[in-house]
Amino acid sequence: MSTPTDLESRIGAALAARAELVTPQDLRHVGPPVLPLRRRTTPLLLVAAAACVALAGVLIAVLPDGDRVAPEPTGPDIVVPPDVGRAWDRAPLSPPYAIDLDGDGRDEKVRFRSDRDRPEDGRVRLETTLSSDGTEVYGVVDLGHAGGVSPLEPIDADGNGDQEMVLYRADPGDELSTLPIVLDLRDGLLVPAPPSDPDLLRIGTIEVAGGTEHYDLVRTADYWVEDGTLHSVRSRRSFARVGMTLLQPEEYEADAFTWRLGEDGVLRPETSDVSCLRVVPEGRGPCRPGDSDLLPVLAPVADDTVGIGGSFSPDTGGFAFTASLEQATEGDADADLVVTQGSFPAVRVPLRTGADPLLFTTQPTHIWYDGPSVVVASGDGDEPLAHQVLVQHRDEMVRLEPVGDVPLGTGYIEGRAFRTWLTYDGDLLTAVAGTGDTAGPWDVYSWVIVDGRSMVAAPLDTVCFADPPDPVTARRC
């Protein structure tokens, strides 16, 4: 028996040390293993792989121990699909799908079967026969919806000449988000390839730090397939979300990623050649030097008001109503708000706004659109003060209580100016100066209803004003 080399001795000592760490508690029964399934390899790739192995041997021989690359941390598990659904019915609205799964240049026809006993899961079995060798392959996925199967354009995420099928499913944790399912052919199975960073691969939002009990801060994300490649973007900025309301500009900048499939079956993002994309309603394009997210719509200001004896009827195309200010019927009130809707009885609400009550003739539709809503204020200053928002709640008009730290109205807080105004789009906004200097920056907030009796000022953007009393002069600082 030959004398062990120094390397063999070091390996033996390391293995012995590892063995001593194993205790009886570690020797427990575990569930079915998550198998490292083999991927189909074309002859050309076999030749390339052999060359890589030879090169790796040379590198191991010549590199000192300290220069060897450590293995990557364990990635997400590859889940083997159960062999169920052979007797399921053909999935409705799901025609066979042509795709070259084995890379031989000929398309397979993938057929779909659905689990009628679990329609809420949208569980689907995929079946086909490989054109290269006649192997029968299958996969099972939960789409999260009971509609038909509609694959996206196929991709070649590993660059080996075959194609991966891309489906999509509802996100179980967020009903407004969808997630792609990339099916990779391994050992006769169509296996979902998990992404190493799921937050980067979705259509929807990603919650980030900085929110409050009344609103969340989120980044928006999107994915798509183009020219056989899976792409995604994530907004560079975060935006406020209050319930179903997302305060996102029409145009914003996003980081762009391209997804590659590794030998371990995991999808990993790479920064795209064009690393920044500007997302606009019509699509996406490269960011341009000096560009930033589109400024929020802060103007024109809806400053038309009526006093006691005046009225208005909105022309928004929504609920028809008439709102008017009348003399107060209670001794401590400044005026009465009277709202009428067709043949229904008029609703009268005493207002306590201060001297010279005003009723804005623009409806705050961004706050409440499913019924009457109005903004009132006091006109006893240079500009409207002490704003209040009243909305229909069942058969009455209620004042929405402002919650959070942002003041409503116009004045000063801790030596910093704040101003509130209504736009012709029906958005009620408040800007708070960041310092005692009115030159800015100013944090701008949009008021959003939280429930039937309260509203919150959610952050919209940070801007500077050439003329602070005139929102049309807003610009980037």
Q: Considering only 10-19, 168-177, 293-302, 364-373, which range has the smallest mean pLDDT?
A: 10-19
- pLDDT at position 267 is 97
* Most confident segment among 39-48, 52-61, 128-137: 128-137
Q: Give residue-wise pLDDT tens across range 114-138.
A: 988 877 778 999 999 999 999 999 9
Nearest Cα neighbor of 410 from 424, 398, 420 is 420
Q: Considering only 166-175, 301-310, 456-465, which range has the smallest mean pLDDT?
A: 166-175
Element at 225 (helix H, strand E): strand 216-226
**In 439-456, which positions are buried (b, 16+ CB within 10 angstroms) versus exposed (e)?**
ebbbbbbbbbbbeeeebb
Q: Give residue-wise pLDDT tens across range 179-208.
A: 999 999 999 999 999 999 999 999 999 999
Whether the Cβ atoms of residue 342 and residue 366 lie closer than 8 Å to each other: no
pLDDT at 276 over 60: yes
Mean pLDDT for 246-268 is 96
Q: Give residue-wise pLDDT tens across range 384-415.
A: 888 999 999 988 999 999 999 999 999 999 99
Distance, in Å, from the CA atom of 88 to the CA atom of 140, rounded to the nearest integer, reads: 12
pTM score: 0.80
CB within 8 A of 232, min separation 6: which ones? 200, 201, 202, 221, 222, 223, 224, 256, 257, 259, 269
Mean pLDDT for 70-94 is 81
Whether the Cβ atoms of residue 305 and residue 291 lie closer than 8 Å to each other: no
Distance, in Å, from the CA atom of 81 to the CA atom of 189, rounded to the nearest integer, reads: 8
pLDDT at 57 over 60: no
Q: Which two tokens stand for residue 343?
A: 């043949």
Distance, in Å, from the CA atom of 408 to the CA atom of 416, rounded to the nearest integer, reads: 14
**Whole-number average pLDDT of the chain:** 85
Q: What is the DSSP letter of 72?
A: P
